[in-house]
Amino acid sequence: MTENGRSAALRRRIRRRHRAERRFRLYGAAAIAGAVLALCALLVSVAGRALPAFFEHRVRLTVRFDPELLGADEGGAAGLARANYGAVLKDALRSRFPEVTGRSETRALASLLSVGASFELRDRALADPSLVGRSEEVWLLLTDQADLYLKGAADAASLSEAQIGWLTALRAEGRIERAFATRFLRSGDSREPELAGVLGAVLGSFWTLVVTLGLSFPVGAAAALYLEEFAPRNRLTDWIEVNISNLAAIPSVVFGLLGLALFLNAFELPRSAPLVGGMVLALMTLPTIIIAARSAIRAVPPSVREAALGVGASPMQVALQHVLPLALPGVLTGTILGMARALGETAPLLMIGMVAFIVDVPGGVTDPATVLPVQIFLWADSPERAFLAKTSAAIVVLLAFLVTMNLAAVWLRRRFERRW
């Protein structure tokens, strides 16, 4: 082959190589674009389903706090706390719809109001006892079926024709308003969809992650530092390293069984508490943190250790004052991954009883609580249609919780990051 022929063949091979490289880049860009589109479609779908849960409908009624209707046997706060506010609500509805006289019609009319309306009146009366004997315009929460109908998310089959007529009349008079559902963000769980909130699950997740972080981060960093800087290279350390890698791949439900047998049955710690949940999740996240921390420690240049030893630092000072600070961004990266996995776990927490129906908002690590993934699981299994939007809204809250936690961790990682 002549020189020109070899040059032409070389140019063809170079052109084929460049075309292949462009195709590879195009395939990569298409894959990234497809993943971003799928993620956006998922987020839009979840947000669209969750939007109704962040709004609620309320009705304005003229409530007469008649002492005879209240039937308070005692005076003061004790009597008001046990008063019959249901009778007051029925009287307010009858005053607006005097044509409703039958027992079944009265019951159907009263069922448009949430069971929480009585508690709203009670709290209002306890806050201002002078309301007794007076009338006042009060905004009261509607039941979930009426709320769904007004949102257009439920058909007429869930309500009777009479109930639809009453709602239409109230809306025409401007007595129904659509407001932001602050109750969803400031209350705990409830059997009634319109009263259910995520605050209990959010604080349960917070306390659980506090315990998880407080146990897994120092133990994981210390274990990684010992294995990389001080542990002798023998069969024992090789066996430990293999088991750490194996533990990172064990299904999370196994850690739940361990927590059930050890923390609950053996140590008799409180069931369904963030303390136990955090300890179980700490065991689950430890292998991930140790592996990432060891890689970060291993990436510190040997010259840093040699320089510190050269100026008279002890091995402990080298490890704690020079190696660990430089490896801290990588350790935090592993912690972020471990905590993100812990935040979304459900199976190990189900094994230790955190699936229980908890109404009260937890105030500490020993109070009964649930977490956001378990709350989502419980609401997704509920038959009421209103819990469908609540489930999606809880997912949005979980994603916001995760993003906030990751942003804080990324900020800390960059805060301690050093370049060499």
pLDDT confidence of residue 210: 92
Mean of the per-residue pLDDT values for the chain? 85
What are the tens digits of pLDDT across the range 257-276?
888 888 888 888 888 889 99
pLDDT at 35: 93
- pLDDT of res. 130: 82
- Report which residue type is found at 123: D
352 within 8 A of 314, measured Cβ to Cβ: no
DSSP at 113: B
Q: Does 3 score more than 80 pLDDT?
A: no
Tell me the average pLDDT across 288-309. Answer: 87
Instruction: Among 68-77, 140-149, 305-314, name the one with the lowest average pLDDT.
Output: 68-77
Specify the pLDDT at position 75. 56
Which residue carries 């047998």 as its tokens? 261
Cβ of 101: how many Cβ atoms within 10 Å? 9
Q: Is the pLDDT of residue 420 over 70?
A: no
What's the mean pLDDT in 147-155? Answer: 77
Give yes or no for residue 76 having a pLDDT over 80: no
Whether residue 341 is predicted with pLDDT greater than 90 in this model: the reply is no
The residues, any chain, with a CB within 8 Å of residue 336's CB and separated by 6 or more, are 406, 409, 410, 413
Average pLDDT over residues 291-315: 86
pLDDT tens digits for range 209-245: 999 999 999 999 999 999 888 888 888 888 888 888 8
User: In the predicted model, is pLDDT for residue 91 greater than 90?
Assistant: no
Q: How confident is the model at residue 280 (pLDDT cuts 50, 70, 90)?
A: very high
DSSP-derived secondary structure letter, 63: E
Q: Is 212 exposed, middle or buried (0-12, 13-18, 19+ CB in 10 A)?
A: buried
| b/e 32-56 (16+ beta carbons within 10 angstroms → b) | eeeeeeeeeeeeeebeebbebbeeb
Answer with the residue of higher pLDDT: 74 or 108. 108
10 confidence band (pLDDT: 50, 70, 90): confident
| Nearest Cα residue to 392 out of 51, 22, 20 | 51
Q: Which two tokens stand for residue 287?
A: 């292998």
Average pLDDT for residues 380-389, to the nearest whole number?
A: 85
Residue with tokens 């506010």: 85
CA 383/CA 415 separation, integer angstroms: 47
Average pLDDT over every residue of 158-166 = 85
Q: Is the pLDDT of residue 160 over 80?
A: yes
What is the pLDDT averaged over residues 378-399? 88
Band (393; pLDDT cuts 50, 70, 90): very high
pLDDT for 116 beyond 80? yes
- Say what percent of the chain tops pLDDT 70: 95
Q: Which of 120, 95, 119, 123 is nearest to 109 (CA)?
A: 95
In total, the chain counts a number of residues equal to 420
What is the pTM assigned to this prediction?
Answer: 0.84
For 19-65, write each residue's pLDDT tens digit: 888 899 999 999 999 999 998 998 888 888 888 889 999 999 888 88
Nearest CA-CA partner of 283 in 301, 306, 259: 259
pLDDT for 208 equals 92
Q: What is residue 31's predicted lDDT score, i.e. its pLDDT?
A: 93
Which of 121-135, 148-162, 225-239 is the least confident region?
148-162
Domains of the chain: 57-180 (no CATH), 199-416 (1.10.3720.10)
Query: Is 60 exceeded by the pLDDT of residue 1?
Result: no
For residue 157, is pLDDT > 60?
no
Task: Give the pLDDT confidence of 173-208 residue by residue, as tens digits.
Answer: 889 999 898 889 888 888 888 889 999 999 999 999
Span of 73-82, 143-152, 322-331 with lowest mean pLDDT: 73-82
Label residues 273-308 b or e (16+ Cβ within 10 Å = b): bbbbbbbbbbbbbbbbbbbbbbbbbeebeeeebeeb
- Residue 403's pLDDT is 87
Residue 261 to residue 268: CA distance in whole angstroms: 10
Phi (first) and psi of residue 135, to 5 degrees: -115, 150
pLDDT at residue number 214: 92
